[in-house]
Amino acid sequence: MKPSIARYLPVLDWGRTYSRETLVNDLVAAVIVTIMLIPQSLAYALLAGLPPEAGIYASIAPIVLYALFGTSRVLAVGPVAVVSLMTATAISQVADQGSAGYLAAALLLAALSGGILLIMGVFRLGFLANFLSHPVIAGFITASGILIAASQLGHVLGINARGHTLIEIVQSLVTNLNQINPVTVLIGVAATGFLFWVRKHLKRSLLALGLGAMPADILTKAGPVAAVAVTTLLVWGLGLDSEGVKIVGAVPQSLPPLTMPPMDVELIRLLLVPALLISVIGFVESVSVAQTLAARKRQRIDPNQELIGLGAANLGAAFTGGYPVTGGFARSVVNADAGAATPAAGAFTAVGLAFAAIALTPLVHFLPKATLAATIIVAVLSLVDLSILQKTWRYSRADFSAVLATIVLTLTLGVEVGVSTGVILSLALHLYKSSRPHVAEVGLVPGSQHFRNILRHKVETDPSVVSLRVDESLFFVNARFLEDLVLNRLSGNKDIRHVVLMCSAINEIDYSALESLETINQRLESIDVRLHLSEVKGPVMDRLQTTHFLDRLSGQVFLSQYDAWRTLKP
């Protein structure tokens, strides 16, 4: 165990061994990430319905705080697509977009999310993230990607399109189709096409031209910057803003301001559940990015410490004019690929962004929103992967149902309903399956001491001994099922003298199931059949020994099923 301060402040670990070489690596990575983050931060602020500077502010303090408290060496924390969408959904329920209340709600949401993450971290509740199954996460990310792309389509066409579900967005697009602005469409479609081409083909072309892998990669990642620069120059040079092309406009030239989230009890009550969902989704997304990147270098991530790092980052966002943040995939991969060696790269990125916030914001005045929307669409469409439906369909109908429900409900009823239903449904399906467990009647595989299902294998059996292997822990949701099963197996069969419950798959017997076993034992005794147990696991046996069940058991407890068979067969 590390001393407790170092445990909560990983910076003390890597800071001690910081060298000149590491510094160079971190600085190079910081420059590359900064350039990439400027358009991305503006774009995600647009997605969240916030002024563009909020995206930049949300990238500065959080990245520094995560560098101090987080355990990943390369994770880049800031605004990300899914969390931006969830933020827009949550705060537009309590305030109108563009109002002061909307900004304040974003700060409060970040503060709540930060508080929730910190509390989860201190109480080591990182395991709660496991309640989001992989298929539910995959479905949710896919559906969010579709929603986000749809929501940005309006910007590409120059249409005011609002809404938090696919239906609302499509309705809004269709209703306002007459607002279409041809110049905006030209810019938007060209930028989208260009960015798709960059993503799909540029790297290969550059490699074919003999460029090294690293510069080719960086040039490819700089695609959005190029799109931003070219379209901004076009709008400025041709005065296209007077043709109806919506631009970013004036962005204050300032360091992140000190802000105070509003401490309004009613607002807190309204935002608590969204904040919880944002925290959990953000945490899951961030940890999976961090683990993927850590595995490459055989480093390890401590999920509970990650909660503290992300909590601090979100509190940082709340007090410096930002909104909820988490570890982003794209920015973290770029950071890692660019050679970032320690979290100091993040701190340098923050310095770069602070400089941008002061000096470069006038340059984006004429940046068309359509270009930002194009960068979002191209980025999120890579999240969309409907193959999860096909994969889960083949593997398990339960998993498929959970994915399908998550996707359909996220698209039609919004992100909050979608992900909550996905989680609840996957838990409910798991419990339902546990409530009717698979039970195999087993017999001896000839020439071995091994017992298998009589329906699947050629095995030896005896009419007076029934051996049942219950493939599930015994607990309240299936306790009654077991009673019915055993009694039904015996009904009308006079040859049976012994019932052996083979307990190799029984990992727990709770109090309800204990009562059911007592009932079964009594009922069998009353018709002169003995109940035996075999292969009871250590922890289960320990617990049974605290009760009178073993004294009352009409039969014996055997170490192995083979012992039971040898003893009981006539």
DSSP code, position 256: P
7/391 with CB nearer its own copies: 391
Binding to its own copies (CB under 8 A): which residues in 537-556?
537-539, 543, 546-547
Residues 97 and 103: their CA atoms lie apart, in Å, by 8
Of the candidates 473, 530, 525, 529, the residue with the CA atom closest to the CA atom of residue 504: 473
Listing DSSP states for 76-95 in one string gives -EE--HHHHHHHHHHHTTTS
Q: What's the token pair of residue 36?
A: 């990439």
Mark 438-457 with x for binding to its own copies (rule: CB under 8 A) and - for no binding.
Answer: x-x----x--xxx-xx--x-
Q: Report the residue from 77, 144, 472, 520 that binds its own copies according to the rule CB under 8 A.
A: 472
Residues 274 and 261: their CA atoms lie apart, in Å, by 16
Residues 36 and 218: their CA atoms lie apart, in Å, by 10
20/456 with CB nearer its own copies: 456
Q: Report the residue from 8, 515, 550, 556 that binds its own copies according to the rule CB under 8 A.
A: 515
Binding to its own copies (CB under 8 A): which residues in 153-172?
none
- Does position 481 interact with its own copies (CB under 8 A)? The reply is yes
Residue 487: CB minimum distance to its own copies, A: 9
Do 57 and 321 form a contact (C-beta atoms < 8 A)? yes
Could you list the beta-strand ranges (E) of 278-386: 326-327
Q: Report the residue from 174, 208, 214, 559 that binds its own copies according to the rule CB under 8 A.
A: 559
Do 279 and 303 form a contact (C-beta atoms < 8 A)? no
106/513 with CB nearer its own copies: 513
Residue 472: CB minimum distance to its own copies, A: 5
- Does position 420 interact with its own copies (CB under 8 A)? The reply is no
Q: Cβ contacts of residue 384 below 8 Å, gap of 6+? A: 142, 145, 146, 149
- Does position 507 interact with its own copies (CB under 8 A)? The reply is yes
Residue span binding its own copies (CB under 8 A) among the ranges 100-108, 170-178, 344-352, 423-431: 423-431
Residue 553: CB minimum distance to its own copies, A: 16
Size of the site for its own copies (CB under 8 A): 63
Residue 200: CB minimum distance to its own copies, A: 26
Residue 506: CB minimum distance to its own copies, A: 8
200/436 with CB nearer its own copies: 436
- Does position 427 interact with its own copies (CB under 8 A)? The reply is yes
Residues 27 and 331: their CA atoms lie apart, in Å, by 15
User: Tokens 């961090």, residue?
Assistant: 290
43/509 with CB nearer its own copies: 509
**What 3-state DSSP class applies to 97?**
coil
User: Tokens 């018709």, residue?
Assistant: 527
Residue 430: CB minimum distance to its own copies, A: 6
292/412 with CB nearer its own copies: 292
Q: Report the residue from 92, 304, 396, 554 that binds its own copies according to the rule CB under 8 A.
A: 396
Q: Report the residue from 199, 441, 523, 556 that binds its own copies according to the rule CB under 8 A.
A: 523
Residue 143: CB minimum distance to its own copies, A: 17
**What 3-state DSSP class applies to 452?**
strand
Q: Report the residue from 124, 254, 471, 569 that binds its own copies according to the rule CB under 8 A.
A: 471
Listing DSSP states for 413-437 in one string gives H-HHHHHHHHHHHHHHHHHHHHHS-
- Does position 480 interact with its own copies (CB under 8 A)? The reply is yes
- Does position 392 interact with its own copies (CB under 8 A)? The reply is yes
Residues 103 and 260: their CA atoms lie apart, in Å, by 11
Could you list the beta-strand ranges (E) of 69-223: 77-78
DSSP code, position 10: T
Do 490 and 524 form a contact (C-beta atoms < 8 A)? yes
- Does position 297 interact with its own copies (CB under 8 A)? The reply is no
CA-to-CA dists, residue 553 to 244, 507, 558, angstroms: 85, 20, 12
Residue span binding its own copies (CB under 8 A) among the ranges 178-186, 315-323, 342-350, 394-402: 394-402
64/444 with CB nearer its own copies: 444
Mark 121-150 with x for binding to its own copies (rule: CB under 8 A) and - for no binding.
Answer: ------x--xxxxxxx--------------
Q: Report the residue from 123, 197, 355, 511 that binds its own copies according to the rule CB under 8 A.
A: 511
* Contacts within 8 Å (CB) and 24+ apart, 299-305: 299/72, 299/73, 300/71, 301/71, 301/72, 302/71, 303/126, 303/127, 303/129, 304/121, 304/124, 304/125, 304/126, 305/7, 305/8, 305/10, 305/69, 305/70, 305/71, 305/121
Residues that bind its own copies (CB under 8 A): 127, 130-136, 295, 391-392, 394-396, 398-399, 426-427, 430-431, 433, 435-438, 440, 445, 448-450, 452-453, 456, 471-473, 475-481, 504-508, 510-512, 514-515, 523, 537-539, 543, 546-547, 559-560, 562
